[in-house]
Amino acid sequence: MRWLIWLMLWAGVSMTTAAKEVSIPCTTWYEGHLTSCEAALVGEVIKVDSHVEQSPSQVLPKESCLIRVDEIIGSSPELQGATTAKLVANHIHDTYQQLEPDWGVYRHLQPGQTVLVLIHRYEKDVAVGSDALLVLTESTQALPESLRRTHFDPAKFTDADLALWKVANPRLHEHWVGIVTYVREQQALGDVTRPEWLALAGVGLALGLLTVWIVRKAVHPGN
């Protein structure tokens, strides 16, 4: 009888420790880029939720998306062992403007859809850009394999990879193709190594985030 009790306790502890949910905030003011990407999450949408908090001083649309984690590409300590991920977006809306019926991103997702989420860091925490979630379709289902093979290294991207990203997200493609073209040109001259393009991309990203932060503080000084 005692062994049965221990077995039940062990099973309960195993189920508790096996399930791990991570909450990932959305940087609604920053779209996200492959150059700032630390890892990518592949999973299936479980459920979505949204509501709007209203007061005389502000309108705050909120939305979230719960994703079953199937795979983590890249390295991110916070995501290791995660079974589900909850993406959370708090949008700031001008009280003097009408809220559009189609606001948001996560609230338009459907349970059962497979998504690819690009993860970056903001103030030392993992985050997701406002345009860094891609619904995988028949024409873009090879995106995870592209990231597995290249490890986010533009020197390893082929023209087929770029064509795939163009179909998936023209904005990400436009930014990424510029980096890939530069790396290819410099490699042809023998003038660039991977640490060098990473440093260049890092400087550009830092300046971009700084600009976004300054603008955001100017528009919303209280946040």
**pTM for the model:** 0.77
pLDDT of residue 39: 96
Task: Specify the DSSP element, H or E, that contains 218.
Answer: helix 194-219
pLDDT tens column, 132-174? 999 999 999 999 999 999 998 888 899 999 999 999 999 989 9
Each domain of the chain, given as residue ranges in start order, spans 20-219
DSSP codes joined into one string, 93-114? B-TTSPPPTT--SGGG--TT-E
pLDDT at 95: 84
Q: Which residues fall within 8 angstroms of residue 206, CB to CB, at 6 or more apart?
A: none
The pLDDT value given to residue 55? 85
The first and second tokens of residue 33, run together, are 């880029």
Average pLDDT (21-47) is: 94
CB 152 within 8 A of CB 33: no
Q: How large is the average pLDDT for residues 17-37?
A: 90
